[in-house]
Amino acid sequence: MRRAGVRSPVLGSYNRAHNPGKGRVVAALSIRGSAGRTSLRQIAAAENTMLFLLEIFHLLLSTVAGLLGSALLLRAYLGWLRLSRTNPVAAFCVALTDWMVAPIRRALPSRGRFDAASLTAALAVALVFEFLTGLVQSDRGLWHWYLLVPSVLLVLVHWVLYLVTLLVLANVVLSLVNPHAPLAPTIDILTRPVLAPLRRIIPPIGGFDLSPWVLIVAVQILLLALDQFSF
């Protein structure tokens, strides 16, 4: 006599032999369940691949937009300081951005030291960057598009702060490593207006100028604060 709860091999063989339809149903359900699990794994793998590709696209987009936007802002700043276009930094900015600035300048000619064409081009780059970012990021919906204008302005502020940090760091490195480098006078001219107020407040200590480091720390704090209010 067979114990309860223990399957009999003989009875199982008898059932499979005398109930072939039930066996086919069980096999079909097993195959369907396996196919469903495989399909879910394939869907998850495809989603992960798509997210990875979107992250790469956003990284490339941020790099290109940041480089181009910063060059445009630096070009406008160089024009404000009236640096010659033969200057190496100015020549680099012109070579990188003239394909955008030249057509805009026909409609918006420069007036005095104000380079409206370069600023308009930087605004356009920030606008395209934010628009494409909103399309590829899954956490942004259509209800966020009304924040496009403040987001663009925030991007421009970020680029300005990154540019200030880069120029001040370059000034510090050149002053320590090679003060007589060809780019040292240009970098000093570019950073002098932002460092001058701090130099009036913070005197040198042992002949060492601390104002660049104070400015870098202040800019980083400001960037952290702006990231908290990012849209």
List, for residues 20-66, the tens digit of each pLDDT value.
554 554 444 455 555 556 677 778 777 788 888 888 888 899 999 99
| pLDDT, average across residues 169-198 | 91
> How many structural domains are present in the chain?
1
Q: Is residue 56 included in any domain, yes or no?
A: no
The answer as to whether 47 is a domain residue is no
Helix axis angle for 211-228 and 184-201, nearest 10°, is 80
- Kindly state whether residue 181 falls inside one of the protein's structural domains: yes
Domain membership flag for residue 25: no
Q: Which of 110, 59, 55, 109 is nearest to 82 (CA)?
A: 110
Domain assignment present for residue 204? The answer is yes
pLDDT: is 1 or 101 the higher one? 101
State which residues form the domain around 75.
67-228
Q: Each residue of 121-180: pLDDT tens digit? A: 999 999 999 888 877 765 554 446 667 788 899 999 999 999 999 999 999 999 888 888
Establish if 153 belongs to a structural domain.
Answer: yes
When pLDDT is cut at 50, 70 and 90, the band that residue 204 belongs to is: confident
Distance of CA 177 to the CA centre of its chain: 31
pLDDT of residue 228: 79
Distance between CA 135 and CA 133 in Å, rounded?
A: 5
Domain assignment present for 120? yes
pLDDT of residue 207: 79
Position 17 in a domain: no
